[in-house]
């Protein structure tokens, strides 16, 4: 059994953010098939527990190995119930590290996104020395746009991440001592 102290990355008043593991495949399968994930983030083709394990291995777990950071599981501190993901991502298509987050709909509009993302932004700057963190959103993801603005990120421009891909909004935030 995994010890909390071995995987815990951040703790807030109400939340525990920890590294994902293959044991989280069931939660990943559920979250990645939520209509909101499919609409705003995209279909990752995760349909089975094996697909979810593969997503974890080639995505978050691989990123921990390469960069030391990645997406973290967000759980309620009092019960351990997983409610979403929040973390830092280094994409090949972006020069800066970006923050990403997604929560199960039952946990929207309760301040969890802000609480988790604030902690992740501070962690990225403090622990990894990041001078700038960006975020991307689909054009009509108004809830995420509002959250990014509340976190101090500002809209910079529209970009496409892949040739022929849909445009997305790029937001950015610099930290003291950085650009």
Mean pLDDT across the stretch 67-83?
Answer: 96
The proportion of the chain whose per-residue pLDDT surpasses 90, expressed as a percent, equals: 85
Q: Read off the pLDDT of each residue in 34-54 and give the average, rounded to a whole number.
A: 94
pTM above 0.75, yes or no: yes
Give the C-alpha distances (Å, rounded to integers) separating 103 from 36, 60, 85, 96, 179: 9, 16, 6, 23, 30
CA 134 from centre of chain: 12
| Per-residue pLDDT, 2 | 42
pLDDT of residue 101: 97
Note the CATH number of domain 4-174.
Answer: 3.40.630.30
* DSSP string over the chain: ---HHHHEEEE-SSEEEEE--GGGHHHHHHHTTSHHHHHHT------SHHHHHHHHHHTHHHHHHHHS--EEEEEETTT--EEEEEEEE--TT-SSEEEEEEE-GGGTTSSHHHHHHHHHHHHHHHHH--SEEEEEEETT-HHHHHHHHHTT-EEEEEEESSTTPPEEEEEEEE-TT--
């Amino acid at each position: 059994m995994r010890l909390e102290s071995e995987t815990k990355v951040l703790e807030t008043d109400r939340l525990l953010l920890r590294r994902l593991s293959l044991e989280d495949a069931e939660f990943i399968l559920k979250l990645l098939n939520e209509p909101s994930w499919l609409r705003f983030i995209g279909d990752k083709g995760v349909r089975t527990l094996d697909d979810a394990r593969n997503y974890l291995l080639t995505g978050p777990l691989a990123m921990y190995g390469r960069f030391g950071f990645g997406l973290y599981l967000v759980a309620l501190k009092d019960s351990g119930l997983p409610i979403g993901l929040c973390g830092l991502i280094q994409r090949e298509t972006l020069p800066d590290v970006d923050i990403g987050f997604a929560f199960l709909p039952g946990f929207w509009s309760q301040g969890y996104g802000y609480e988790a993302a604030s902690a992740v932004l501070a962690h990225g700057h403090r622990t990894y020395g990041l001078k700038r963190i960006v975020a991307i959103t689909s054009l009509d993801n108004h809830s995420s746009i509002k959250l990014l603005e509340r976190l101090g990120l500002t809209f910079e421009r529209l970009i496409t991440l892949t040739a022929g891909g849909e445009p997305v909004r790029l937001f950015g935030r610099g930290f003291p001592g950085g650009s």
